[in-house]
């Protein structure tokens, strides 16, 4: 990590990259980051109020860790798993289409990591061309994921999608 992050910024990245479920049989909704992102996706101002300090510190930390800059013309291929079948997304996630995600979004550089993450649970994998992302792999609570985080309202162009049935 080359940026001089504050203690609060390091902690919020650790919080965001953790999964409270561990070996417990809890739903993903048990994670605070999931609840925060749900509020962002719904654009629910009342709901977001309780997450404002976390959003502030997470956004500030990720801005310092930014590794790709649109102004320089850089782009990178990243991978994201979606918990629904590609057939239900085909209209919104067609190749060459631009999409905006309103929440913080974890992605990986490693296609194999995403393939393992998806397994055979009826999910989809999206290959993204991204111009801005923050590399949190050194601070992530899940080592070996090659994790990056996209800031809220990131716009990207879809290059290709592969449903888990094709993996």
Q: Going residue by residue through the chain (167 aa), what tens digit of pLDDT does each one get?
A: 446 888 999 999 989 888 877 767 788 888 899 999 999 999 999 999 999 999 999 999 998 886 766 566 677 788 888 777 777 777 777 778 888 899 999 888 887 777 776 765 667 777 787 778 888 888 877 777 788 899 999 887 776 666 544 44
Predicted pLDDT of residue 60: 92
Tell whether the torsion through CA atoms of 86, 87, 92 and 97 is positive or negative.
positive
Contact 136, 17 (CB under 8 A): yes
Query: Six-digit token pair at 26?
Result: 């809890």
Region for residue 43 given its phi and psi (left: phi exceeds 0; alpha: psi -120 to 50; beta: otherwise): left
pLDDT at 164: 46
Global pTM? 0.81
User: What CA–CA distance (Å, rounded) separates 33 from 37?
Assistant: 6
């Amino acid at each position: 990590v080359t940026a001089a992050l504050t203690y609060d910024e390091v902690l919020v990245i650790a919080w965001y990259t953790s999964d409270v479920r561990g070996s417990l049989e809890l739903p993903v909704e048990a994670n605070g980051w999931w609840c925060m992102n749900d509020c962002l996706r719904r654009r629910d101002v009342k709901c977001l109020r309780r997450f404002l300090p976390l959003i502030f510190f997470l956004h500030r930390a990720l801005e310092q860790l930014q590794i790709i800059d649109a102004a320089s013309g850089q782009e990178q291929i990243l991978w994201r798993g979606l918990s629904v079948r590609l057939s239900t997304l085909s209209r919104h996630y067609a190749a060459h289409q631009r999409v905006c995600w309103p929440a913080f979004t974890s992605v990986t550089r490693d296609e194999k990591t995403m393939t393992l993450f998806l397994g055979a649970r009826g999910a989809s994998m999206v290959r993204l061309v991204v111009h801005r992302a923050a590399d949190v792999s050194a601070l992530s609570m899940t080592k070996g994921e090659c994790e990056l985080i996209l800031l809220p309202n990131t716009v990207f162009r879809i290059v290709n999608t592969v449903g888990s049935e094709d993996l």
